Structure 1
Amino acid sequence: MTQQVTFWFDVSCPFAWQTSRWMKEVEKVRDIDIDWVPMSLAVLNDGRDIPEDYAAMMEANWGPARVFAKVKEEAPEKVDALYTAMGTIVHAGGEGGKKGYGAYDDVIKRGLEEVDLPEHFAEVANTNDVDDLLRGFHAKAIEAVGDDVGTPVVALNGTAFFGPVITRVPEGEEAGKLFDHAVGLAEFPYFFELKRTRTEMPQVG
């Protein structure tokens, strides 16, 4: 039976990136159908009292998130490939952590070119034209899991969690086994959380 996965992501988040690369490995060894949906750390932190340095990063994060919202609405079949293209630039390419409005404009341009999406998708990055759309996608994640979260939010056959948070990307059957365990936990309606102190940052290859 095909397992249904909804994966809400913000391309700027290294933890979402690691989890997404795990899901790409799971696709190779399990029968799953993934719906890739944007959410936004900028929306999540909008109006919050956050440090100035982090606020500047949130300003930068609006651009890519807006582009993903427009792509999800108008070319949803391209979201997966665009996330891979832009995420590779941001994380494997070391171009994350940018600050200030428009900081990801070049990353957006390169990502769109790589997946053959027209330039007009980039036009929304520094406007609020699709903010209601982005907030709507984001709200679906929060409705599914609650507001005490970050990214990613992953729904497994309809049950959503923040995470799994992983720092390394398992491959092959190890990826499938981790997925099986996550799906197993999701089957219990009274299971909510496992957590331990993280001792390493994402190991991006």
Structure 2
Amino acid sequence: MSTPQTADFWFDPVCPYTWLTSRWLREVERVRDVAVHWRVMSLSVLNEHLDVDPEDPEGQWGDYMRGPGRVCAAVSERHGSQALGTYLDALGVRLHERGEWDGAERALADAGLPTELAAVAWTDEYDDAVRVSHEQGLALVGPDVGTPVLSVRGAGALFGPVVSPAPKGEAAGRLWDGVVLMAGVQDFCELKRPYGALDFG
């Protein structure tokens, strides 16, 4: 019996592109022998040194940007990586498909997790845990990228992939094969096309 490939996936749950990448990874798990370890990162932490946060230029969102990541960190610490992946599945549907920014408690219930964890969204209790996880991801790819970060153990790490819509079936598997190939090339740095080429429809 072969050992599955292992991937570490750092995500900020508020990022819609990252949500789509996570849907691709779920499909990859179905069509390839891959085990994903789910980890938290934060656009708020990434941009906190900037005078103007490009994700929140008016400075209006504050805890609404940080809160989902705090809950994710609590889920990870108390229930583990696989529970975090299950929570992301539920939270992403509510955040990105239904626009429910107040849906953390319902997403926890959907994922079979204690709903009281939603309260940490409005405290700084898990800010250090978010920061530590975030920095672990960035250490693999450098500070000039965002979310998501994907590390394929035994190959390497990359920012992305940013893909919309998330491919299904063997198309998802072929993209995985290409990402693993690129991650394994030490001198590979960047492959990109304009965001205008993407369609969330």
Q: Scaled by the length of structure 1, what TM-score is found?
A: 0.89
C-alpha distance in structure 1 between counterparts of 2:146 and 2:168, whole Å: 25
2:165 to 159, 165, 168: 168
Aligned to 1:43: 45
Q: Is the 8 A contact 2:106 2:115 kept in 1?
A: no
Aligned-pair CA distance for 1:119: 2.6
Q: Does 1:150 align with 2:141?
A: no
C-alpha distance in structure 1 between counterparts of 2:59 and 2:29, whole Å: 35
C-alpha distance in structure 2 between counterparts of 1:91 and 1:138, whole Å: 21
Aligned to 1:124: 120
Q: How does 1:125-140 map to 2 (within 5 A)?
A: 125-140=121-136
Q: Is the 8 A contact 1:42 1:61 kept in 2?
A: yes
Aligned-pair CA distance for 1:47: 3.3
Aligned-pair CA distance for 1:90: 1.0
Q: Which runs of 5+ in 2 are unaligned?
A: none
Aligned to 2:184: 187
Q: How does 1:32-111 map to 2 (within 5 A)?
A: 32-50=34-52, 53=57, 55-76=59-80, 77-95=82-100, 104=101, 106-111=102-107
* CA RMSD in angstroms, aligned pairs only: 1.7
Q: How does 1:20-39 map to 2 (within 5 A)?
A: 20-39=22-41
Aligned to 1:8: 10
Say which SS state the counterpart of residue 191 (structure 2) adopts. coil
Deviation readout 1:20-43 (Å, 9 max, x if unpaired): 101111111100010000111111
C-alpha distance in structure 2 between counterparts of 1:186 and 1:130, whole Å: 31
Deviation readout 1:54-92 (Å, 9 max, x if unpaired): 532354111111011111111013101100100011111
Q: Is the 8 A contact 1:16 1:152 kept in 2?
A: yes
Q: Is the 8 A contact 2:42 2:130 kept in 1?
A: yes
Q: Scaled by the length of structure 2, what TM-score is found?
A: 0.90
Aligned-pair CA distance for 1:120: 2.6
Which AA in structure 2 matches 1:17?
Answer: W
Number of aligned residue pairs: give it. 195
C-alpha distance in structure 1 between counterparts of 2:120 and 2:145, whole Å: 26
Q: Which runs of 5+ in 1 are unaligned?
A: 96-103
C-alpha distance in structure 1 between counterparts of 2:29 and 2:169, whole Å: 10
Q: Does 1:141 align with 2:140?
A: no
C-alpha distance in structure 1 between counterparts of 2:59 and 2:147, whole Å: 17
Q: Compare 119-128 and 51-60 and name the one that shifted more.
A: 51-60
